[in-house]
Structure 1
Amino acid sequence: MTYLNKLLGAAALLGITAFPATAETLRFSSFEPPVAHVTKEILTPWAEDVSAASNGELTIQMFPGGSLGRNPAQQLQMVEDGVADIAWVIPGYSPGRFQESTVAELPFLIPSSTVGSPAMWKMYEDGHFKGDFNKLKMLGIFVSYPNSIASTAPVEAPEDMKGMNVRAPGPTMLSAVEALGAVPVGGITGPTVAESISRGLIGATFTQWGAIETFRMGDVISHFNTAPLGATPMLVVMNRAKYDSLSDEAKAAIDKFSGAAFSERFGKSFDDNIAEARDELLAQGNITVSEPDEAQTQAWRDAVAIATEQWIEQNENGQAIYDAFTTAIEEEAARVN
């Protein structure tokens, strides 16, 4: 009997594995700072839960703060190239890649992330989101709380935006900007918004309280109009080939915490953070909030209605997708309320 066989035999008698398998390590990229809410309170705990559920088959290692790639627009490509195995992706930075999801950017449609995120997953599950959605392993599909107008000058009514350079985080929201008579400015990612405002490149941005806090926009804006002008679609995606290469136990751990469960988890946490960020920012006394009354709200609706009409016309099956999403939102709102 060889020395190796003796070792194996002894290990068998002791009921242990002589050569334990090494856990598969997956790299999860986030462009956010490690202390930012989504990364710290949603993505990292999700990774920990999946790792723990895999019974040693899997370890998901977070790479926050752009340590694998700083540009938010690079995250999708990093997953496709295998630089990252998993990433948090903003589809608006890759126009045309996840076109159906831009329905969530339409104004006055999404009431909250709590309602909108599970509705987004249902759209995917029911086959309304196709194309590039099927080229990757979808782990979660979400939307932000509705974006409103953060600006350096008062914005009370739609006409106040005429001629103003305005940034939005997605192509459909940029259509709403144009409908308001403002100058749409694309290509500015969340981390560079504050600098763009301070340099005078833009005078306003479509955003929400969490992003204002995370990306320090509160230092450069002074006004916030709460009209809900479209939410930001977001994804957590995985390299499909990498997922397919995993053991059944590792896949089961990922699947357990993904899909509808991930969307529900994301939505509630995101909205909770919006409320906290709003209170903290307003306590500083530097931002004046304008909340449109019923008449003003109707004026905003009328001013941006063309953005919805154009989206339906310009997208294949646009009306069917819009109708299905409206129904999904109504059903989810009834469920959570």
Structure 2
Amino acid sequence: MTHRKLLIGMLCVGLWSAPAIAEAQTLRFAHWLPEQHALPSTGFKEWTESITEASGGAIDFQMFPAQQLGSAEDHFDMVANGIADIAWVNPGYSAGRFPISDLLQLPFVVSDTLNGAAAATKWYQQHADQEMDGVVMCLIHGHYPGTLHAKEEIRHPDQISGMTIRPANSSIANFVSELGGASVQVAAPETREALSRGVADAITFPSGSTILFGIDEITTYHIEFPMYSSWQALLINQNAYQQMSAEQQDVIDDHCTGEWATRITRGWEEMEREGHEQFRDSPDHTMIELSDEEMTAWRDAAEPLREAWAERVRSAGHDPDSLRQDLEERLSEVDALAD
């Protein structure tokens, strides 16, 4: 029997099948930042181009920046429901919905977000499937620590009473409430308008983004003390991931690591750090250096938030002490745990 006849016979009886050729995937990637922001122009660009190259062109991306597919607050539901295949999500925009991840959003937890990105990613990858349905948690990273930017000088947490603050996330909103202030929750792109219309007196924000969004024209007082970082998750729709070939999934998995969390963050980190230094050097802005007593007052004022977080996590069926200890140990190993 010739090889040709043997091959035809095997195909007819189902003894052999040709290797499957992976169908090329174009993934819809949604985020809410302007395209000129350092993160999409550096971190997202490097990440997507590396995936396309590693997949031999079998995975490509269609980018939807600046809330084109929906508001910043809706990005988790967008990716979970398949409106987007990948989305950059701030879990802190959804109050109480992701209690485990809220630990990262609390004030005075992470001191070095660049070194802490890998540690946080490895920590949260263990827990995300307990509170994030419909998605694959790729990585999580935070911005250079943010602080309070205001229209007038603020040194002590007691001064927040009676003020209206635009908080960075739900944990900071709780902090404002704890201090007797009121919160107005608007997405980052709408923050300047809220301040200019007098809806808010101050914001918590990283410094470079304050400049990018034009907020520096309104807020000229900035506390030097790093208070918090908002942590953002890069999430993949579960169905979109499952429909990929094994080879495509391997490429995605290789790009959902702590190392990539650091690489994605680097350009954003530099932008925010430069903004902080620009405020320090500008004659039009005042950097407020807190005394040791004032810094202690801010830290003490945040303690009830930790207790409230522990209660929320406990109510959701998790062990807050174990979660906190694991994260703190990982952050300590890379000198990224706040003192």
Please indicate the TM-score interval, normalised by the length of the shorter structure: 0.7 to 0.9
What does 1:284-323 correspond to in 2, within 5 Å?
284-316=282-314, 317-323=319-325
Give identity over the alignment, percent: 27
Equivalenced residues, count: 313
Aligned partners of 1:158 and 1:79: how far apart in 2?
37
Q: Secondary structure at the match of 1:62?
A: strand
Residue correspondence of structure 1 range 75-90 to structure 2 within 5 A: 75-90=75-90
- Aligned-residue offset at 1:120: 1.6
Match of 2:9 in 1: none
Q: Residues 39-88 of structure 1, C-alpha deviation per residue, up to 9 Å, x if partnerless?
A: 1111122111111110121112222222323x111212221222211111
Give the corresponding residue for 1:155. 154
Deviation of 1:253 after TM superposition, in Å, equals 1.9
Give the letter aligned to residue 248 of structure 2: A
Q: Give the corresponding residue for 1:167.
A: 166
* Amino acid across the alignment from 1:319: D
3-state DSSP of counterpart to 1:60: strand
User: Which amino acid in structure 2 is aligned with residue 66 of structure 1?
Assistant: Q
Matched residue type, 2:53? A
Is 1:331 the equivalent of 2:333? yes
Structure 1: segments with no counterpart, 5+ residues: 1-19
After the TM superposition, which parts of structure 1 deviate over 4 Å for at least 4 consecutive aligned residues?
Answer: 281-284
Aligned pairs for 1:1-337 (under 5 A) are 23-69=24-70, 71-125=71-125, 127-133=126-132, 135-185=134-184, 187-316=185-314, 317-333=319-335
Could you tell me which amino acid in structure 2 is paired with residue 332 of structure 1?
Answer: V
Distance 1:180 1:171, change over 3 A: same
In the TM superposition, what whole-angstrom CA distance separates every residue of 1:188-245 from its partner, at most 9, and x where no partner exists? 1111111111111110111111321232211211111133332212111111111111
TM-score between both structures, scaled by the size of structure 1:
0.86
SS in structure 2 at match of 1:84:
coil
Q: How much has 1:320 moved relative to structure 2? A: 2.2
Which 5+ residue runs of structure 2 have no aligned equivalent? 1-20
The secondary structure found in structure 1 opposite 2:101 is helix
CA contact (8 A) 2:27 2:60 kept: yes
Q: CA RMSD in A?
A: 2.1
Deviation at 1:282, TM superposition (A): 4.8
Q: Deviations over 1:162-181 (max 9, x none)?
A: 21111212222122212323
Aligned to 2:17: none
Helix, strand or coil at the partner of 1:333? coil
Q: Contact 1:47/1:61 (CA < 8 Å) preserved in 2?
A: no
CA distance in 2, matches of 1:162, 1:116: 32
Question: Partner amino acid for 1:292?
Answer: L
Per-residue displacement from partner, 1:115-164 (whole Å, max 9, x unpaired)?
33222212124x34442335311121112222210111101122222211
Q: Which amino acid aligns with 1:306?
A: P
TM-score (norm 2): 0.85
Separation in 1 of the partners of 2:97 and 2:108?
24
Amino acid at match of 1:62: M
Determine helix, strand or coil for the equivalent of 1:181. Answer: coil
* 1:315 Cα offset (Å): 2.0
Deviates more, 1:128-137 or 1:298-307: 128-137
Residue type of the alignment partner of 1:49? S
Change (3 A) 1:105 1:203: same
Q: 1:297 to 1:21 in 2, by over 3 A?
A: closer
Q: Secondary structure at 2:40's aligned position in 1?
A: helix
* Contact 1:138 1:259 (8 Å CA) reproduced: no
> CA 1:43 to 1:288, structure 2 compared with 1: closer, same or farther past 3 Å?
same
Q: Secondary structure at the match of 1:166?
A: strand
- Residues 269-325 of structure 1 show CA distances to partners (whole Å, capped at 9, x for unaligned) of 332222222234555533211122322211221222222222223322222222222
Residues 1:115 and 1:79: Cα distance change in structure 2 (over 3 Å): same
| Cα 1:220–1:98 shift into 2, 3 Å | same
Q: Is 2:157–2:297's contact at 8 Å kept on the other side of the alignment?
A: yes
- What CA distance in whole angstroms lies between the structure 2 residues aligned with 1:202 and 1:229? 19
Q: Give the whole-Å Cα distance in 2 for the aligned partners of 1:183 and 1:65.
A: 27
**Separation in 2 of the partners of 1:210 and 1:93?**
20
By how many angstroms is 1:90 displaced? 0.8
Output the CA distance in 2 between the equivalents of 1:43 and 1:99.
26
